[in-house]
Structure 1
Amino acid sequence: MIQKPRGTEDLIEAEVKEFFALEMIIRNIVDLYNFSEIRTPIFESVDLFKRGVGQETDVVSKEMYTFFDKKNRELALRPEGTAPTVRAILENKLYINEKLPLKLFYFASMFRYERPQSGRQRQFNQFGVEVFGPKSSELDAELMCVAVNILNAIGIENHTVHLNCLVNDEQRKKYIIDLKEYLKSFDLCSDCQTRIETNPLRVLDCKVDGDKFVDVKDMKDYLSDEDKQYYDDLKKDLENLGIDYKEDKMLVRGLDYYTGFVFEIKDDKGSTLLGGGRYDKLVNELGNIDLPAAGFAFGMERMILALKNNNISLSPQSSLDAYVIGLSKKAKQFANILLLMLRNAGLKVDVDFMDRSFKSAFKQADKYNAKNIIIIGDNELKENVVVIKNQETKNEKKVKFEDIVKTIIEGK
């Protein structure tokens, strides 16, 4: 038997409903903040991610699914959503001033070749928001407000916002020199031995060695006066919005395009639920357009897992308004007409298509959590009636054909 590829999942029945319920809650919230949806191709040029995400990141150097098309162009299945969004903005000239600030969101499948584990698959679905336009601490605070509102709306209220500000430009170079000197005193894993030369900040994010660096110098001490003021303004804006936060000098995020404040929101067990920050140079890097930007994202599967861990269900138990049982061939033919009539009235109904016994058909109705069972036999057809059994009250009554819809609706 052919099985699904490792690192992929089949979402079935209740799982799909939970997924859809989460998406609808998110859509309602981002609509309140006046975000518009964007959809980008599932594959892009490899160069987009090399230039946009960073050639030395794990995402690009280890995890991308790449292939050559029939004209020998190297393409990659989309591993993240920010670089494709920037590419779409540049290609479609969405950066003109009349369109700013440009507030976008997406739901998209992503692909990364990494070790599958709970909440982390090789194909996964991601929700993300991206804001382009002014470099504004108020807009950044609103961005984090969106994230907090989503978590509160789905019932994950025990969470903590972790906040940091990455050092840039000449100050970054000074910090890197001091950081490398600091890291020399540690016996680092093989990955970090490479990162210390190619991308030293990523060493702080290492899952193997990260706990060792508790006394590392705080990069916020290296910020320029302008960046310090911006970061202080952001913290005040968060406080004004009632958003509590914890400053975390170890927080660096895993993608190279971040250039300013970064944040993650973690649950009460310390697991990361979502993350993001500013990436003011990415648009310029890809298209020579000066357009500040910020955003955040999270994996839908990881959020579904967090809901399960908190015993939260977003989708109500599925049920039918009515389940129809035909007791003869003629009655089953009429049942199909009845189904159409009930569905046209906005009622959720189904019928026994499997020629089950009367007893088995009743069991099937219970499986579907049917509120009513409609029974039709030859005698009922002659009398122009059906028998409706209310599953909650257990009462049965004969109902004329013309009153069936009314009876089911009144019993809802």
Structure 2
Amino acid sequence: MSTFKAPKGTYDLTPPDSAKYLAVREALSAPLKNSGYGYIETPGFEDVALFSRGVGESTDIVSKEMYTLTTKGGSELALRPEGTASVLRAALEANLHKLGNLPVKLWYSGSYYRYERPQKGRYRHFSQVGAEAIGAEDPALDAELIILADQAYRTLGLQNFRILLNSLGDKECRPVYRDALQEFLRELDLDDDTRRRIDLNPLRVLDDKRPEVQKQLVGAPVLRDYLCDACKAYHEEVRDLLTAAGVVYEDDEKLVRGLDYYTRTTFEFVHDGLGSQSAVGGGGRYDGLSEMIGGPALPSVGWALGVDRTVLALEAEGIELELPSATSVFAVPLGEEARRVLFAKVTELRRVGVAADFAFGGRGLKGAMKSANRSGARFTVVAGERDLAEGVVQLKDMESGEQQAVALDALVAEVQQKLA
């Protein structure tokens, strides 16, 4: 065993479990690839100011959870705590918005970092698949993203998740609501940390999960009552489009999400089998973020879905993903001549697209067959000196146990036919 362990609050993905995570990533991104979203990858760290300006100084993410570092050259960097600000920065830097095809539709997959108290479903290093549609203000775009996430979860077989939906208004109507909410909150008996939030970002107080705070929030002004006509009409259209697509959602007037940049549509995917860390994904519209980070006005919408949380949701529902076997053919050579011949055949099989592996390390038949079993291979190819003298190999079907001699020259074609 190594002297070192994975840092606190992180995890390693190792076979065979890692195959499940890869399958989840694939399922979450598949509907996006099918809907005009192009892949984008950004660095694991960015300028600190990108997040403090974009995500918001008052958020827990920026004030408590960011991993920051100073480079030898004196630059202040942060490991990325979320994906949207980085993707928008990259799109602006590459002038993707000037190519005349708006919205710019992008998807990404990667690791994110937050210094949080580790618990099941909440890690300091976690994995997300995300999507952003940049440069268009259109309720159909908000609906599209929610529908695609719903589709992704359903293709995995998930059923016990709920979609929570709200509107946070815009720069016209939210300030009026903000004033009313601040007035209400200042009358409550809150701790100093929470009182500071009242001035910085009062909507975040609504997101406080502590029962003693929630009890006092009964009767708080509701954003829905303050929405301007334009925001009401926009939200109504998002709701109508979701209903027409057969996507079930719940209106949640307390849903604010933990980032300052959201406007209008905001949504969360929650799974009731995950305890306190019930959110498996979420997102919303962020029409002012581009200006906040020095770009032009680019109304945008996006989401991020947690890979780790989705895996936990699958486990909570007892769903076993049908994963293709990593190996279709396992070759077991007996003797030096057979090692050379079968190694060449394994290479040949791989070149025609058949997943094949080999008994390395020169073990005996018993040990090599154990490896073949563990590999999950459908067929085992065994050959010794006598077989090779006759120009054949033994092909064993690991499911039925049947074994037949196959001409060495015909092996690749025979395997391809049986696997087809």
Q: Same fold (TM over 0.5)?
A: yes
Rounded Cα–Cα distance in structure 1 between residues aligned with 2:133 and 2:352: 43
1:109, 1:126 within 8 Å by CA — same for their partners in 2? yes
Paired with 1:20 and 1:352, the residues of 2 have a C-alpha distance of 26
Aligned-partner residue type, residue 138 of structure 2: S
Match of 2:17 in 1: 15
Match of 2:90 among 79, 88, 92: 88
**1: distance between equivalents of 2:170 and 2:396?**
71
Q: Deviations over 1:166-220 (max 9, x none)?
A: 1344643332333234334544355423322322111111122454234322111
AA in 1 matched with 2:405: K
> Which residue does the alignment assign to 1:37?
39
TM-score, normalization by structure 1:
0.93
**% identity of equivalent residues:** 39
SS of the aligned residue for 1:216 comes to coil
* Cα-to-partner distance string for 1:319-359 (whole Å, 9 max, x where unaligned): 53332222222222222222223323332222222333322
Q: Identify the range of structure 1 (56-65 vs 184-193) with the bigger mean alpha-carbon deviation.
A: 184-193
Q: 2:279 aligns with which of 248, 272, 281?
A: 272
What is residue 238 of structure 1 aligned with on the other side?
A: 242
**Counterpart secondary structure, 1:108:** strand
Find the aligned partners of 1:379 and 1:293 in 2 and give their Cα distance: 69
TM-score (norm 2): 0.92
Separation in 1 of the partners of 2:172 and 2:189?
28
2:127–2:308: 8 Å Cα contact kept in structure 1? yes
Contact between 1:321 and 1:408, CA under 8 Å: does it hold in 2?
no
**Cα 1:97–1:355, aligned 2, differ >3 Å: closer, same or farther?**
closer
Q: Which moved more, 1:45-54 or 1:81-90?
A: 81-90
Greater mean alpha carbon deviation, residues 51-60 or residues 147-156: 147-156
Counterpart residue identity of residue 110, structure 1? Y
1:296 aligns with 2:300: no
The range that moved more, 81-90 or 340-349, is: 340-349
Q: Would you say 1:410 and 2:386 are equivalent positions?
A: no
CA deviation vs aligned residue, 1:246-269 (integer Å, no higher than 9, x gap): 111110010000121211122244
Name the stretch that deviates more: 159-168 or 74-83. Answer: 159-168
Determine the C-alpha separation between the residues in 1 that align with 2:111 and 2:313: 19
Task: State the shift of 1:81 in Å.
Answer: 0.9
**Cα RMSD for the two superposed structures:** 2.1
Tell me, yes or no, if structure 1 residue 193 matches structure 2 residue 200: no
**Cα–Cα, structure 1 residues 321 and 227, in superposed 2: closer, same or farther, change >3 Å?**
closer
> Quick one: which of 252, 255, 270 aligns to 1:248?
252
> Residue 388 of structure 1 aligns with which residue?
395
Secondary structure of 1:260 counterpart: strand
CA distance in 1, matches of 2:355, 2:244: 47
**How much has 1:48 moved relative to structure 2?**
0.7
Matched residues in 1 for 2:292 and 2:326: separation? 52
Deviation track 1:216-252 (CA, whole Å, cap 9, x = no partner) reads: 2211101112222222222222222222221111100
Which residue number corresponds to residue 258 of structure 1?
262
Letter aligned with residue 15 of structure 2? E
How far residue 104 of structure 1 moved from its aligned partner, in angstroms, is 1.2
Q: Residues 32, 349 of structure 1: CA spacing in aligned structure 2 closer, same or farther, 3 A cutoff?
A: closer
The 2-side partners of 1:375 and 1:307 are apart by: 38
Residue of structure 1 aligned with 2:130, choices 128, 131, 143: 128
Deviations 1:24-57 (A, max 9, x none): 2233211221111111121111111111111111
Work out which of the residue numbers 318, 341, 347 in structure 2 matches 1:340: 347
Cα 1:392–1:115, aligned 2, differ >3 Å: closer, same or farther?
same
Tell me by how many angstroms 1:149 deviates: 1.3
Distance 1:397 1:296 in 2: 53
* Aligned equivalent of 2:150: 148
Note closer, same or farther for the CA distance 1:104–1:342 as it changes in structure 2 (3 Å cut).
Answer: closer
User: C-alpha displacement at 1:317, in angstroms?
Assistant: 5.2
C-alpha distance after superposition, 1:85-132 (max 9, x if no partner): 221222222222712111111112211111122222111121111112
Rounded to whole Å, the distance in 2 between the matches of 1:170 and 1:361 is 71
Tell me, yes or no, if the aligned pair for 1:90 and 1:287 is still in contact at 8 Å.
Answer: no
Partner of residue 78 from structure 1, selected from 70, 74, 80: 80
Q: CA deviation at 1:75?
A: 0.8
